[in-house]
Amino acid sequence: MTRTLKTDLLDIAYVCGGPEEGMPVLLLHGWPDDAHGWDRVAPALEAAGYRWVAPWLRGFGPTRFRSTDALRDGTGVALAHDAIALVDALGWERFAVVGHDWGGRTAYVLAALWPERVASIASLAIGYASRGRFEIPASFEQSQRWWYQWFMATEGGAAAVAADPIGFARLQWASWSPPGWYDEEAFDQAAESFRNPDWVAVTLHGYRSRWRPEPLDPRYAAARQRLDAIETLPVPTLMIQGGEDRCDPPAESENDARFFTGTYRRVVLPGVGHFPAREAPAAVAEALLQHLGDLPRGPGAGSLPG
């Protein structure tokens, strides 16, 4: 059942499960995906006694902006503030974060800006970008893989995405993992979330702001400044990478351990592409349970009132 919590900026829709007294785990989906990307991982967390919540990010699914005037900021700092607003509304003091793609970048930002609240993070498919900065890839091959980002940075590309957002998302599903990894029912379910009236605006802002000047929501200015000074992360971290990821291949994350002063473990799943939680849910769940099992499980680890 989908639930909704109000924050200062959003009506955040989410699904949840597990015992209310269990250690809280926040599951953040990626782009282009939605909260159902965790459907085959969450039951393992629940069976192990964790309380999980999987929201739809801003611009996705039933999550809605409460004001027409709010900038549809798609940056990691904005998404991290949404996550903090959500866990505050849930009553979570300390929690673990598992994020895929955009959710993974959000997890890194949460660990950088609120390390005292984040018990651990796990990032699926996305390596760490220190100081929250994006750099032009060192190789032509990786620049080619990121064609969709350069495409959206042009006016014609942005217009094309706005004209056919579902078709654009489908192309990424079809090309980022080995052929035949998903069925039409799974894509159609996720694609419903891309019909959100703000999906295009948030998507375009999230990518265009990486590579060209774009307006940024001033409410996050101080957080951006703080993030720009943070090189390393102290929070225990798991990175899960698909060995056949055709958007962000393993070579892009293989040297990231130097950025973590806490424990860091990287798992590469053979034959898996950019959507590990959908493609290999059992392997992802096993890695997550091992990672989370190393953390304190007592009352101080987190609580959820309902």
Q: Is the pLDDT score of 202 beyond 50?
A: yes
Q: Read off the DSSP letter of residue 149.
A: H
pLDDT in tens, 249-261: 999 999 999 999 9
pLDDT digits (tens, 9 = 90+) for 49-101: 999 999 999 999 999 999 999 999 999 999 999 999 999 999 999 999 999 99
What number is the average pLDDT over the span 199-222? 98
Question: Confidence class of residue 305 from pLDDT cuts 50, 70 and 90?
Answer: very low
285: its two tokens: 């769940």
What's the rounded Cα separation, in Å, for the pair 36 and 219? Answer: 30
**HSE-up of 29 (CA within 13 Å, CB side)?**
27
pLDDT of residue 294: 78
Q: Which CATH number fits domain 3-301: 3.30.470.10, 3.40.50.2030, 3.40.50.1820, 3.90.76.10?
A: 3.40.50.1820
- Of the candidates 57, 13, 81, the one whose C-alpha atom is nearest the C-alpha of residue 201 is 57
Nearest Cα to Cα of residue 120 among 24, 202, 208, 30: 24
Neighbours of 220 (CB within 10 A): 18
pTM score of the predicted model? 0.96
List the structure tokens of 80: 């991290």
What confidence score (pLDDT) does residue 296 get? 62
